[in-house]
Amino acid sequence: MPPSTPTILATPRRVALAAALLVLAFVLAATTGWSSPGHAAGPGGPSAGPGGPGQQAHGPLLFGHRGASGYRPEHTLASYDLAIRLGADVIEPDLVSTKDHVLVARHENDITGTTDVSSRPEFADRKATKVIDGAPPVTGWFTEDFTLAELKTLRAKERLPAVRQENSVHDGRYQVPTLQEVIDLAKRESRLTGRTIGLAPETKHPTYFDSIGLSLEEPLVSTLRKNHLDKPKSLVFVQSFEEANLRELHSTFRLKVDLVQLTSGGTTSRPYDHVASGDPETYAQMTTPQGLKEISTYADVLGPDKAQIFPRAAQGRTGAPTALVKDAHHAGLDVVPYTVRAENQFLPAQYRKGTDPNAFGNVFAEFQDLFATGIDGLFTDQVDLAYGAREDFLGYRHGVDNPQAKAS
């Protein structure tokens, strides 16, 4: 270094200051829980142990679908909180907008079936009939007609009380949460558990919300950025069944987190933005090797219906898997299918137990089938069962089959 160059002298005071700053940075990273979960290349990244307290998950990531929706009214803080306690690596808020453009967690903008709105006389005049995404008209109450303050006066209730009667004991106990509240919960739980709790926000009906001046992407991006989550190593997955808004998030907003292209089965279904723009491309075409290659230009993860991996054959049974997981991996995409549910009525026929459609069947077999295809994660309503299945899959099963117990 030339003598004239100003130098920063390493005085004892400066060394102490630098050390203090380093410690502070470390503590901040540890306490926010959002620095680097080892999530380098999609869901397959995290590694270290079976994912117990203080350990990041190893193996396929477990996405708590709408929280722990098998046990609590979906999309409530209680549902997400329970999912985390049951072992979820990632919690999944579906997102819609309020009238005052705040993102809240609901599976759809029609809140008739998941809140007590229909019993609130003060909101009787908000009942409306709307066409959403070209589907037959729906009559009910819609988030975009309520301010956040109004929505907060409502209480959530179980979507499927006939299937999940136990969950309905929680009806009336919880509010509709905002995206920010879900992020706050994930941050707090990351600190408490020592695990990085990921988030998989899904933009619901993005074309529709654009059409009514309540675009979902801007508040989503600004909320992620405000919370310092728009980083490649954040355990954050932004999902959509539509294509155009994922492309926009990738190219215009330059979002750095993983983007998930959701797809559905069937031969004719297609993203609603394709329908709206006249693009004839179907999900079936998007999931061919050529289509997957195209998806990989703007997304990181494929989120297919599990039936696209294990199609239902005669009598609702499944057989050999399709090549979808292999093809998607070949295109550079991770694969996170939806949705494994333990009740008989949602299981392939060969795994049902007894005749009660609401009783749990052999869901462990379905988890194993899916894990064996090489998937990188999955969405499930019963994350505790997925956690046990993943332990089995990884050889961490408690008891005599535990290879660690055998070795010691």
Q: Which of 335, 354, 334 is nearest to 343 (CA)?
A: 354
CB-CB neighbours of 310 under 10 Å: 21
CB of 222 to Ca ion, least distance (A): 21
By CB under 5 A, residue 305 contacts Ca ion: no
Q: Residue 202 interacts with Ca ion (CB under 5 A)?
A: yes
Beta strands 138-140 and 128-130, pairing class: antiparallel
For ligand G3P, which residue of 239, 263, 373, 382 counts as binding (CB under 6 A)? 239
Determine the Cα–Cα distance for residues 287 and 304; give it in Å rounded to an integer: 9
- Contact set for ligand G3P, span 330-369 (CB under 6 A): 338-339
Across the beta sheet with 90-91, what order do the strands follow? Answer: 198-199, 90-91, 61-64, 377-380
- 75 near ligand G3P, judged by CB under 6 A: no
Write the binding mask 142 to 161 for ligand G3P: x where contact by CB under 6 A, - elsewhere: --------------------
Between 46 and 67, CB nearer to ligand G3P: 67
Scanning 7-15, 196-204, 253-261, 350-358 for contacts with Ca ion by CB under 5 A, the matching segment is 196-204
Taking phi first (over 0 means left), then psi (-120 to 50 degrees means alpha), and beta for anything else, what does residue 188 get?
alpha
- 367 or 379, CB closer to ligand G3P? 379
Query: Residue written as tokens 């008209």?
Result: 137
CA distance 214 to 95: 12
CB of 325 to ligand G3P, least distance (A): 16
Q: Which is nearer to ligand G3P, 185 or 260 (CB)?
A: 260
Amino acid found at 386? A
- Report the alpha-carbon distance of residue 360 to residue 164 in Å, rounded: 11
Draw the binding track, 171-210, toward ligand G3P (x: CB under 6 A; -: no contact).
-------------------------------x--------
**Positions that interact with ligand G3P (CB under 6 A):** 65, 94, 107, 202, 239, 262, 303, 338-339, 379
